[in-house]
């Protein structure tokens, strides 16, 4: 038998080799952990808004019916609520705005339009005029009539203004179901 074959496994060289192997395994595990930590953190941050209760899609009381002009002239109203994130509470903060206008219809006395342009997200303005006026997006010159319909065949807006659900409740209070929609698309899709 050769002396090498009868050498016990607990020699200093074998112990060093085992330590090197275990150290290498730990180094690889720590490296993988260092790579996965930011990826997992990013995934949690991305999913977190889905887990939290969204402020969109709720009804908010904006005004009273008596405040809206009877001639159908739109008025802009902020949507104000308490905004809460993971650590802070921001009371009475504007989360958006809507245009409200009277229609004269008993079944649907008020219409509500999102002020965000469906094209690129700019804020739509109302230009009053003797003929009733129009809605205008100043960013790319998209024009909409009082019913929120595009008035140009070559409008940069891919769709008409986004309407919102409205309820006139006890005492003439106007409630609007406030939502944001995806811009730049031809279909009206609620933002997640």
Distances (CA, A) of 166 to 4, 13, 98: 90, 81, 11
**Model pLDDT for residues 71-117, shown as the tens digit of each residue:** 999 999 999 988 877 788 889 998 899 999 999 888 889 999 999 99
Helix (H, G, I), strand (E, B) or coil at 34: helix
- Residue 192 domain flag: no
Has residue 6 been placed in a domain?
A: yes
Q: Do 64 and 172 form a contact (C-beta atoms < 8 A)?
A: yes
Which pTM value belongs to this model? 0.67
**Per-residue model confidence as pLDDT tens digits over 58-71:** 899 999 999 999 99
109-124 burial, b for 16+ CB within 10 Å, e for fewer? ebbbbbbbbbbeeeeb
- Are 22 and 64 in a shared domain? no
Domain boundary at 28, 51, 74, which? 51
- As a whole number of angstroms, the distance between CA 90 and CA 20 comes to 55
Neighbours of 187 (CB within 10 A): 9
**130 is in which domain, residue-wise?**
58-178
Helix or strand or coil: residue 46?
A: helix
Q: Are residues 159 and 65 in the same domain?
A: yes
């Amino acid at each position: 038998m050769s002396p090498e074959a009868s050498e016990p496994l607990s020699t200093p060289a074998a112990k060093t080799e085992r330590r090197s192997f275990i150290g290498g395994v730990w180094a690889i595990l720590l490296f993988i952990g260092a790579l996965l930590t930011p990826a997992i953190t990013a995934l949690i941050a991305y999913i977190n808004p889905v887990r939290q209760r969204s402020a969109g899609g709720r009804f908010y009381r904006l005004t009273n019916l008596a405040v809206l002009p009877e001639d159908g002239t739109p008025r802009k109203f902020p949507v104000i609520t308490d905004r809460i994130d993971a650590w802070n509470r921001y009371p009475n903060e504007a989360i958006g705005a809507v245009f409200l206008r009277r229609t004269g219809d008993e079944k649907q006395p008020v219409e509500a339009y999102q002020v965000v342009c469906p094209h690129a997200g700019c804020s739509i303005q109302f230009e009053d005029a003797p003929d009733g006026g129009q809605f205008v997006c100043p960013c790319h010159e998209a024009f909409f009539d009082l019913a929120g319909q595009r008035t140009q065949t070559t409008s940069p807006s891919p769709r008409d203004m986004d309407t919102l659900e409205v309820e006139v409740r006890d005492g003439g209070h106007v409630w609007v179901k406030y939502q944001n929609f995806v811009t730049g698309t031809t279909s009206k899709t609620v933002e997640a």
